[in-house]
Structure 1
Amino acid sequence: IKNNISAYKYNYKNNIIIFIIMSKIYANGSFSSDELIFYYLLCRECREKGYLRIFINDNSGVRVGFSEDMLDNIEIRDNGIFIEDGNDKIEESDLYIQDNNANVITTEKITLTDKYLSYNSKLISIFSNKNSGSENLSLSSLCAIETIDAYNSIFTLSYVSGMSVGIGAYLCRLGNRIIMKKDSYMLLTGYQALNKLLGDNYYKSNLSLGGYEVLGKNGIVQCEVVNDMDGIEEIFRWIEYYIDGQSSHSKKLYDNTNKYSNMDDNTNECINQNTNDNANEHNNIDDSANKCTNQDITDNTNECIIQNIDFNKVINKSIENYNEIEIIENIIDKNTYKEYMPDYAPNIITARAKIQNTTIAIISSKHHTYNNHITNEENNKSTTNTQNINNKNNIESKLMPHVLHASSSQKFSEFISQINTENLNLLIIANYKGFSGGDKDMLDGVLKYGSNIINELKIFKNKIYIYIPPNGQLRGGTYVIFDKNINKNIRLTVHNTAEVGVLEPSALCEIKVKNKIKSKLEKIVNKYKECKHLNTDDNYNNDNITYNNNLSTINNHNNHNDSYNINTTIKTIAEDICKLQDNTFRLYKDNIIDEYVEVKELRNKIIEYFNLPDK
């Protein structure tokens, strides 16, 4: 047992079955690094030893968290959020900054601990939420790839007993065989989040998005049962079919009366098995899990020697602000660009072009919203859409910018498959807030086509260069499909203003900033207000305090024209802390992200990587 996951080994007709059971006994059934690593090791064990893998799950997706432990040591100042020096420093280094105008070199202090990175005590990146940070997205992709390999090697089946969200839904889909209990659902985005995105209460429940009424119609879920006992029977019925198919003996008639005669005794034996014997039997899994999950963070951080990091790129945020089209124009050879399928799912670009006279393929997000008018006849086929309902006879469907819909996911995966046959290298400019999870997109197979992107990238033969552009972001499931674990030929680079996280800061705050955390934040804000009040005249309005939280212009820290003022509220401070959690340094220091790259150097970086010998 590892937090939410328990595993049972079961012998059925001389076939070893591993039941991986994900429940809500802890943290609402969410996946932290512990659960993800344990799932990965169990799934790999099944694949390597030829065991049948049954995934019974009721989960809420990747765990999200707020760095509450940092609140006792932070303070607000006029120009941002600062950390009070503690005893948890790991390394300090001097950063030498040259002022080109004055020809002067100044020395600044960089502090790296196992919880944060600071610059002259100003927080740059927070990563103390080890089990609920963006690192879990990388581990999620590792689990996804292992599930694909398992499906191609052994029998895999998933049973959804309540809900399966995000990576949970991915793992079910990638295992292909899915049984769902009545009133359960699988989805990528919850109905409340979708309603917030759409600005209205279109959806009333998650069942309307990912219940059997939707996923049964498009074949993603193959079977629905009324209760868990029926679910167990269907699991063993499917196993029976598989065993018969693998057997060289004649198939036996299905005996309705005795089909599970030995199940109760065998199950009780499994559940009541001596815990010590079970631990000894699986000590190789437990040892591996402990080695991964309990790794000394200090050692891990020290591997990333502070002097070998280009902190100028980490600290000095670039003022570049190119959109995706402008980036493509900047890096390709002149007059070589050709977009294909421009009218199909137009919120993503699929194109071919040349760099240094060599043809490459390009897939990119787009920053425009596209409207798609749906006629009454089409409306009758799908009663609602994830977008604007104009009247009874018409729907205006919107393909949102930086969102992967069913059609854009299909276009994405099919284009990868096509260029794989053409032996081209691939450039992906990735700026996505997530997958659309509306009822039409779920019915149209966004879960299926999103999973297909992982499959196609996994088998891609040539080099893949992925770039998160200036002020871009990758959230949740859209990060999982681009992680380096998917393919050894992926190089993942980011602009230093980009962010990676499970949820957007505002959404994370709504979930996590309550009670104790809110009280701590209130004390921090009040302390700042008191300090400001002491340094102002008697007419100072204590309710309208502003502070300059300008993390993007530290290289111009004496230029106050680059700053912006915002109302100092608990919500504002909480969102700023969440943004610090999403700073990509936490992934860069652990080699999940390869490099910081500015647009002005992107062309040369792409040429350099594509010219490297194959791995």
Structure 2
Amino acid sequence: MGARWRFRNPGVAVAGTMSVWQGSAKVLPHSKALEEYLSSPNLSLGFDEKKEAIDDAKSPGRLHIIVLDSVDVDQVHQRLRAMEAKLRNFGAIEVVLVTPGSRAAVEPSYSHFSLRHGWREVTSSRDLGPAAPCLLEVEQLSEEFQLQRLPPVASTAELAHVFLGTPTKGSSMVVHACLACHSHMGLDPERNDWAVRLEGLLLDGMHELENAKLNPKVQGAEGRVYLHLTALADMDGSALFGLLEAFTREFAARHGALIQGLWVDEITIKVRLGSESAGCQGVLRFSITSGHEKYMKCTGMLEQVDPITGTPMKWQDLQTGQERAPVAADVALRAKRATARKAGSTYAPDFLGLLEAALVKAWGAGSLPKELLKASELALNVNGQLQELESRGTGAIGMLAWRLLLRTPEFPEGRSLVLIANDVTHQAGSFGVAEDHFFKKATEYARQRGLPRVYIACNSGARVGLVEEIMPKLRVHWNDAADPSKGFQYLYLTEADYKSLPSGAVIGKLVPGVGYALDAVVGQGLSSIQGGIGVENLQGSGSIAGETSRAYQDIFTLSYVTGRSVGIGAYLNRLGQRVIQSVDGPLVLTGYGALNKLLGKSVYFSQDQLGGPQIMVPNGITHQLVQNDQEGAEAILKWLSFVPRDTWSLPQSISSTDPLDRSVEFRPTKQPYDPRHMLAGTTTGNGKWLSGFFDRGSFVEYMAGWGRSVVVGRARLGGIPMGVIAVETRNVERRIPADPGNPESREIVEPQAGQVWFPDSAYKTATAIRDFNVGENLPLMIFANWRGFSGGTRDMYGEVLKFGAQIVDALVDYKQPVFIYIPPEGELRGGSWVVVDPAINPDVMEMYADQDSRGGILEPAGIVEVKFRSKQRVEMMHRLDDKLQQLDAQMKTSPAPEQLQQEIHRREEMLQPLYTQVACEFADLHDRAGRMKAVGAVRESLQWSQSRGYFYWRLKRRLLEDRMVKDLQAADDRLSRADARQLLSVASDVPDADAVERLQKTSMNQQIRQVHAQAVRRKFCQAYEDLEAAGEVTGLRRSLLRCLLPRTGAAPGVRDDVGEAKVVQREVRGAYPGLLGKEVPHKK
């Protein structure tokens, strides 16, 4: 049985007959028949008549021998070598042996033999179908790696194979997922169904890698995906490249976490160009690779293949037209990436790519700007000053920094920030003198420009070391040279070794006949101390700790912890306050190994026990927890979306798709509820959406695991960013874990009631207020629903009083509008009212109460026990109850008052619960919104459903007014806030929406110039008086100053000399920032 056919290898152009192969197949029953067939003198391969020589053959041949029994492959090789002349004569250059698989009813086994390999079996193609090696470029892989096949999982691709490649020249292992698809994709810019199918195929490749990673020896391997689309694409190469580039950009954004988790650094998509009528006209090789230039960079090449074998032969750059080869993976770069990944992190320069992918995701379905991210590396020049370079992570120390320009949905034209990152591939990311100096310079660079500073932390703390040059020279002076167990007196160097060292390398004293006894090892002049090995590094740590603390006060600071952060690295994160932590990124002061040595036993078994998420989230160090570095990049961008362009600006407003005038549908109840529903909205059990106070989808909670009786976060109201604080009404628990270092310790579970401030939640509130104010410049919304502070022994000892006072401290320093709103069914009482009362900072704070809210010192039941006692309630009974009035009348005339008295007592006891309710209702009437507004405790009483629109217009007005007031105060630093407000053109009683319209149409430029001119005249007159009082105004100087005085206003005592002068207003450029742009920034 047999067959014959003709075929071309994929990618071979139609032109040229030499590209057409002959194929034939022969089916044999067993190995003996195979031996007879190959040794037959009248061998027939089923090809055309014999050719003179293989080089002249117009149609090379591939023979398929199918044997229905097991075969000795080595014997086949020998037989093929013996009949090589016959094979060449018939034009056969490949033989594929097909035999039954190792198990019945399973795919057959394939063995490939080739003339180019001396008819030896091509082991890299073993068990691959006849066309698979060419389609999947297996032979090219085998030239770079020793390949081992891994079992694939189910795939939608027609052909899928997984190989573990061990490089022939060092470097790390690579697992390859190779797929081929023969179905027509329908690539078309006008349609999107092809993108869904292509995404599915690439995800199949990712899942193949994911499955392979379950093998222990594959876990540390890099990943690559190769996809060959064999169906013809009737498109121009450049157009197809643009289509695939846009697709892969979105693919990387959606699946960045998966790409990172599988360590995928290269994705190749190979597409045949042409049409059914014209045939294959060429091949586009589209690659996404991570090199030095860019993370996940797209490149396109037109590929020419060998007309016989179909293997790639030449490549032409799609953009330049120049001949080039595919970019080979940089061995050094791969090694660095592997080091970073083993540390649980990402190679620092690759974070730029993660941020770019996060930007694509942030823009969503909208049109993307041409350049989402532009990075300039910061490096020290010869003068020790930072300069911008067009490079990516080429520094020679373990610290990198960039100035980034990000085009975000909030800032389409771009916003700048400074990104600083540890390079964990350089001495484990430790802090030496050079790293400390560079970190400080980069932070100063951001602080001087008012730019946000983001720090990516992956380090091992301060660098430690010893002077290595002295180690081989070190000698020991034993107490008894014959018995070292008696100890030693000192360490020393021989005179020759001492003199061979540079001056100052050690401090020692000469011991005659012995050498120099060492008092101290300095290492001066020796190379091993370069970069620092001890206290000099601690000095540097102190300097960057101070600089980070100053940076938090001046600019927006944010840290992302990945891998690990130790010692000074952990402190830097805390000093920057805002921390995002990866689940695999512990913050520790000392490694668990060192602690175990200190304790003298193995107590701790991982860094996570000391500083993992289960520690840092509940204690408030970590503000947000993410699962991987891609999520970390997205979290950084999300946080930045609430942050202003620089420290002197307000956060950027965006257009909101959530209507301003809509009702707030979720309504707080008297029963405990989730306050997040009040803020963000929720979906009911039947699928109905109930809107919350803020714009839908804008609320992001932070510090969720700490101080859980308070909820804090950031959100948008009508597109305006705000900080928000709300109150948990449900009971929660605080858990304190047991300490493995103390066998007697146990986990402690502390219940915490809702609507109460405890030490941790009070501290959380104060922390959130400071963060919103410093660097973020966010208006603040507090939904105040507290019954008071927890004042028990435990919580008083836990410093609830201290943390409650810090809330006041934070509000005193607040610079942006603060709205305190008691929500419906909410209450604000006692000390909790005191710490948020607008009198703390009347310039920025305003308080509002819902019509169904309450406010007072004590709850009604409590005040009734003090101010409406039982005796007073009994008097009310006798005044209002008809039955008691009758009994009282009978008492006056009754001959047996004792019996009536008992009846009166029974009636009083029956009425007591009812009149207690009456008393409580009376006390409650004192706590309602009507009284709060009447006595001026709140500015307005509001209706919850309409509160969203009210606060939007109020906030908009306050922001406009505050901006104008700050501009006026910048023009005259002695102008009070109240005086500046009086200069505004809109009266306070004008409705907020109308006031906003007027303020937006009002130009304050002329008024600001006048205020500035008056301030200059005043300062000049004051300076004249001061100089005159000091006796410095004499002679020619007096005449000169008097000539200048009429232009700015005469000083007292000299007006009669110079006469009345006209005031000439002069524009002083740069005098006020609001008028002349950003030349002179506001100082907060």
TM-score bin, normalised by smaller chain: 0.3 to 0.5
- Structure of greater relative contact order (alpha carbons < 8 Å, 6+ residues apart): 1
Q: Which structure's CA Rg is the greater one?
A: 2
Q: What TM-score does the superposition give when structure 2 sets the normalisation length? A: 0.22
TM-score computed with the length of structure 1 as normaliser = 0.38
